[in-house]
Structure 1
Amino acid sequence: MRSKITRIMTRDGSARVHIIESRDIVNEAIRIHGTAPTASAALGRLLTVGSMIGCMLGEKTDALTLTLDGDGEAGKLIVSSDWLGNVRGYIENPLADPPAKPNGKLDVGAAVGSGMMRVIRDCGGNEPHIGSVELVSGEIAEDVAAYFAQSEQIPTLCALGVLIGKNADCIGAGGIIVQLLPFADESIISKLEKNAERLTDISGIFSRYAESDKANLFVADIALDGIEYDLFDEIEVEYKCTCSRERTGNAVHSIGKKEALSLIEEAVAEGKEPVIEVGCRFCGNNYVFTKEDVEEMFADNNKNEEV
């Protein structure tokens, strides 16, 4: 069952809501990066919220990048999303696994540490919009809410959860973002705040309904209890890397023929294969370019120089 985002609006227009069930996305990240439990939870939460924010983008060419640059054991975390909410992610130290909290829960805040959260919205050919906020807790949900409040002046509730099983796989994951719209009704705000208290174990909720395609609606009924709302749409999302041999080749081409060939010479001097090997940190794919590939890559340039 693929992960899914549900988009909702309160009937009176006070708030918009995004809910995601993201277990499949998190398990794919665990498979690719071989993460320890706390690293899985940290990366999983960032992928979860990145997907929801990504599908808030307006145009097909828009893209989103979230970066957590903390001083914790996990190091830097990066998630990118397209406008449909498809995501990919990277964690600098996939083996980060600090001791659990006294209540037994994974200490994501300790793994992330103190530092900055950056949000980059790339809107096609326009200058990207870059916002940043100091990490509030490193638990990610609170940091996202702080970002929206400080950088975009949008009052936001965010709850995220990733539950890791005994086999180090994800058995429940998801999240919700509730954002108040201008002139929101005070009675609706009060109900939203009260209902939010029931979302403290959101990973447990998603775990209980993991095999149901109605998990998002169960969460909606909790978050919007006593509030009339309309379901706008549902979108299937996935962990999706955009790397390719062509794109990687363009990156090699950008350093120039002389530098590319020198990399191959350095590999030979070190007793390695005479190739340039470029790995994608988001999906683990490796792209190999031989000397012949490099020569062919710059062949058109040589022809232009001869004219």
Structure 2
Amino acid sequence: MGDYLVKALGFDNKVRAYAVRTTEMVNEAVRRQKTWPTASAALGRAMTASTMMAAMLKGDNKLTVKIEGGGPIGAIIVDSNAFGETRGYVSNPNVHFDLNAQGKLDVARAVGNNGYMSVVKDLGMKEHFTGSVPIVSGELGEDFTYYFASSEQTPSSVGVGVLVNPDESILASGGFIIQMLPGADDEVINTIEKRLSQLPPISKLIEAGMPPEEMIAALLGDDNVKILEKSNVVFSCQCSKERIANALISLGKQELDDMIEQDGGAETRCHFCNEVYTFSIEDLRALQEEATQ
């Protein structure tokens, strides 16, 4: 079963739901960045939630989520768009701790809870939408839940989970977002809260092979779900040698001179996919010519 996302409505259009399987997406990010298990879980949770947030966008719209909780993992940066393409990285991939008191990877300790989560949405307008909220737990599911309630005034429940294999690859990754829409009364809210309290951890559902549409049915009840759309999600990085070259050109002739004379070339690595791009002296001289045109 590949990675995909499901959008749905429930309770006569009073509830909006998203569920996603991101096992392969997160595994690709982890493989490229060689993250240690706790860092992998933090990155995977952030990528999973961001992918579902981006599914709320339209067309060419995209968003960037930045999480800086003050913990040893440093910043987590995730880019995602409405096409289901997501990439992400952590500042310090080499973070791992013993399991916490609940027997789970200690993501909160890695992320920290003394900082902020910010979301920047590029909606194709002159100004980007930016929302920022304090980190409330560092577990990330709770932090995205708080973001929706505080920054977007949308009562929500966000569940994200990642299981890591003994060989440090990803065993299971996925999540859900449930949002109350206008018209959702106390009876609907209480029904969903009861179901949430009885649901096993989301990563266990993914590990057991429960597909996203069944996850939504478990959350809302079989009779309350109307599936709207299914779409693939994937790890995707938009970096290229051409893009890096354009960035080097923008530095100007003098900076390129210094790279030629002092460094004998240039090498840069993409934070997201870990791809290395090398520019020889001849490459840089060609870029100099473009910079002076």
TM-score, structure 2 as length reference:
0.95
Q: Which residue of 2 aligns with 1:204?
A: 204
Consecutive unaligned residues of structure 2, counting only runs of 5 or more, are: none
Residue 278 (structure 1) aligns with: 268
Deviation at 1:245, TM superposition (A): 1.1
Q: Kindly provide the amino acid, as one letter, of the partner of residue 94 in structure 1.
A: P
Q: Is the 8 A contact 2:20 2:175 kept in 1?
A: yes
Q: Trace 1:103-122 onto structure 2 (pairs within 5 A).
A: 103-114=102-113, 115-122=115-122
- Asked if 2 retains the 8 angstrom alpha-carbon contact of 1:188 and 1:227, the reply is no
**Matching residue of 1:17:** 17
Paired residues for 1:76-155 under 5 Å: 76-114=75-113, 115-155=115-155
Is residue 2:259 matched to residue 1:263? yes
Q: 1:80 Cα deviation (Å)? A: 0.4
Are residue 242 (structure 1) and residue 238 (structure 2) matched?
Answer: yes
In the alignment, which residue of structure 2 is the partner of 1:167?
Answer: 167
| CA pair 237-13 structure 1, distance change in 2 beyond 3 A | same
Return the alpha-carbon distance in structure 2 between the equivalents of residues 65 and 283 of structure 1.
Answer: 16
Q: What's the offset of the Cα at 1:59? A: 2.4
The aligned amino acid for 2:89 is Y
Runs of 4+ in structure 1 displaced over 3 angstroms?
Answer: none
* Per-residue Cα deviation, 1:279-307 (whole angstroms, up to 9, x for no partner): 101001111122322222242454x5xxx
Mapped to 2, the partners of 1:116 and 1:199 lie a distance apart of: 29
Q: Aligned partners of 1:295, 1:170: CA distance in 2, in Å?
A: 43
Distance 2:39 2:215 in 1: 25
Aligned residues: 292
* Aligned partners of 1:198 and 1:222 also within 8 Å: no
| Paired residue secondary structure (2:191) | helix
- What pairs with 1:207-218 in structure 2 (closer than 5 Å)? 207-209=207-209, 215-218=211-214
- Could you tell me the percent identity over the aligned residues? 36
List alignment gaps of at least 5 residues for structure 1: 268-273
The structure with higher relative contact order (CA 8 Å, sep 6+) is 2
Q: Is the 8 A contact 1:159 1:200 kept in 2?
A: no
Choose 1 or 2 for highest CA Rg: 1
Query: TM-score when scaled to structure 1?
Result: 0.91
Q: Which residue among 262, 282, 292 is the counterpart of 1:292?
A: 282
